[in-house]
A and B are shown apart, each in its own frame.
Chain A
Amino acid sequence: MKLNLILKVKPLLFILLLAPSIYWFASLYMGKMGINPIEKLIRELGEFSLQLLIITLCITPLSKIKILKNIIILRRMIGLFAFFYVCLHLSTYIIIDHFFNWEYILKDIYKRPFITFGFSAFLLMTPLALTSNNISIKKLSFKLWKKIHTLIYIIAPIAALHYYLLTKADKTEPLIYLIIIFILIFFRIYVYFSKKFSLPR
């Protein structure tokens, strides 16, 4: 794909990724989010952020394919959208679901593994989101910046585990996410070691 095309696609993708949030909150407001609307909103936001996280992880390996190499330009935006949806997911839980009942929320985070995992994923994502700009790369040096951003390999499995642990029965969907994430991480480990141990030609 040509660089030009990607740059044209980018604003379109921005609107496309923003649209679900507007749609879901509008549906909630209009009472069209089903019988248990708050629970549904939290689920939709959470699942979409996990999907975006996985798409972000897919971009690097896909960009190794020659014709797709320019899609790397889209990675930052998709990653930031993943964080955007995580923020909406968390604030819906805090504000709409539990209405700032901090005692309850803190107990939840501390006591329940699935919420502990979910909240840790959010915390770990925050430095990544804050440094997702060119100034930060310059300030931190590319090497350090890259190191910080390897956190994504911890965040993604934790996020998927968060989903797996909250599922009461039929864990097919969270299992699929977990498997995809492990394949993507394995790919990187493979690339890393094959580079390290391959003899110079």
Chain B
Amino acid sequence: MKKISSSNITKEKHYLNRRFFIKGGVASLLSVIPIKGYSFHNNSDKIKILNLQQKKDKLNSYEEITTYNNFYEFGMGKSDPSSNSNKFKPLPWSVNIEGLVENPGKINLEDLLKNMTIEDRIYRLRCVEGWSMVIPWQGFPLNKLIKKVKPLSSANYVQFETIYRPSEMPGQNTLFAEYRGVLPWPYLEGLRMDEAMHDLTILSTGLYGHDLLNQNGAPLRLVVPWKYGFKSIKSIVAIRFLQKQPETTWSEANPREYGFYSNVNPDVDHPRWSQATERRIGEFKRRNTLMFNGYAEEVSYLYKNMDLRKYY
């Protein structure tokens, strides 16, 4: 882990002038519903940069990160989430803690954030489709929440659920969804307990010093940087502690192509396309995809004796 001061990593003027972003939709929303603890971007001096390859990784722009998204609840096209998500109201929000825990129940987002220190995490995000970005997230390690709710020793897995709200999410009420190959809702994802407890795994509430926009999974989403992007589930309403490996949406929809683990791995191809290379958004030439998206040093011990071709 390298620690670099913020001035070393980016000249992105928007990031430096982060306050200018708090305008438009989110700003007005926040002015109507003033929420303590839901404005969390005041610790830029504590930026934690994990394994960025010196200057090889440049931050993607705010525009790139907020207008090129996969969030099928708002539509299948890359620009659909940014153009179809304005009806979605992320506040008020609460997360239901369920399953094998000592402290189950509803947690209000503001209450949750009151007790969390929001950190900056700059991570690469590699989409299973073969493109990638570098994103400055704000959030807190998932393990802090897990420790608070105290899972039982029998809890081996964690399942996450995205909100189901078809009145505000046009992608959730498409016609003939089954026949068209649209996903079943609500969207589900999962992690093994040790993956969930890993320090790199965060619950994010913001990016570029700005509360998450709807298209990026407002108000609370998972970020697991060594796995393909679809594992980083958005707009989470439930976190479930389970004994057995849970159902996850993509691997249920197409088990041959999407496994439970879905670790970034240049040597294990998706059946329909290679995973050896990727195009960093904003770059012309493709680059080679790195094992565990470049986080091998931090996470490879989790999969020490596992056949990653079998557990893809």
A interface size (C-beta, 8 A): 24
Given contacts A35-B68, A98-B286, contact A165 B180 (CB under 8 A): no
Q: In the complex, which residues of chain B have a beta carbon less than 8 angstroms from the beta carbon of A33?
A: none
Which residue of chain A has the shortest Cβ distance to B286 in the bound complex? A98
Q: Are A35 and B180 in contact (CB under 8 A)?
A: no
Q: What's the Cα separation between A169 and B301 when bound, in Å?
A: 33
Q: Are B286 and A169 in contact (CB under 8 A)?
A: no
Q: Does B22 contact A (CB under 8 A)?
A: no
Q: Does B285 contact A (CB under 8 A)?
A: yes
Given contacts A35-B281, A97-B286, contact A170 B182 (CB under 8 A): yes
Given contacts A35-B78, A38-B279, contact A166 B181 (CB under 8 A): no
Given contacts A98-B286, A169-B72, A171-B181, contact A107 B274 (CB under 8 A): yes
- Smallest beta-carbon distance B92→chain A, Å: 31
- Smallest beta-carbon distance A39→chain B, Å: 7
Chief secondary structure at chain B's binding surface: loop
Q: Are B285 and A166 in contact (CB under 8 A)?
A: no
**How many CB-defined contacts (below 8 Å) exist between A and B?**
56
Which residue of chain A has the shortest Cβ distance to B177 in the bound complex? A170
B interface size (C-beta, 8 A): 28
Q: Are B286 and A39 in contact (CB under 8 A)?
A: no
Q: What's the Cα separation between A26 and B274 when bound, in Å?
A: 29
Q: Are A166 and B131 in contact (CB under 8 A)?
A: no
Per the 8 Å Cβ criterion, residues 263-300 of B in contact with A are 269, 271-274, 276-277, 279, 281, 284-286
Q: Are A172 and B286 in contact (CB under 8 A)?
A: no
Q: Does A112 contact B (CB under 8 A)?
A: yes
Q: What's the Cα separation between A168 and B11 when bound, in Å?
A: 36
A76-113, CB under 8 A of B: which get 1 and which 0?
00000000000000000000011100001001100111
User: Residues on B close to A: CB < 8 A?
Assistant: 63-64, 67-68, 72, 76, 78-79, 129, 131, 174, 180-183, 253, 269, 271-274, 276-277, 279, 281, 284-286
19 new A-B contacts, CB < 8 A, other than A99-B286, A112-B272, A166-B272, are A34-B78, A35-B281, A36-B68, A36-B78, A36-B131, A36-B279, A38-B284, A39-B131, A98-B286, A99-B285, A104-B276, A111-B269, A112-B274, A166-B273, A169-B183, A169-B253, A170-B76, A170-B181, A172-B180
